[in-house]
Amino acid sequence: MALASAISTIRSHPVWRYFAGATAIFILSLMFRSLDQTSCTMTGGIGTHFLWHVLNAMVLGILLMGAVKAMPPGPASDQKEK
């Protein structure tokens, strides 16, 4: 994902901000996942695993928004039926 972010930035692709933001959030989610085992014992079982899931959902949402933004405009669905 970092490579896609770098390539889209170099090429000035319109969705480079989505890639860059998703990459930064994914790095943060990996950090929380790595700290989960240690933090679980320190917090009485709560840990940070839930943050892994929440942040990964955010990553998927941001990448989906970027994909939709990058889609070329197509014909309206009601025109296909005619």
pLDDT tens figures, 29-79: 999 888 888 887 777 778 788 889 999 999 999 999 998 988 887 775 555
Contact 22, 6 (CB under 8 A): no
Residue with tokens 């955010």: 58
pTM of the complete model? 0.77
Q: Name 46's Cβ contacts closer than 8 Å, sequence gap at least 6.
A: 39, 40
Predicted local distance difference test score (pLDDT) of residue 72 = 81
Compute the distance between CA of residue 40 and CA of residue 58 in angstroms, rounded to an integer.
Answer: 23
Compute the distance between CA of residue 35 and CA of residue 72 in angstroms, rounded to an integer.
Answer: 41
Higher pLDDT, 4 or 57: 57
Residue by residue, DSSP assigns 50-80 as HHHHHHHHHHHHHHHHHHHHHSPP---HHHH
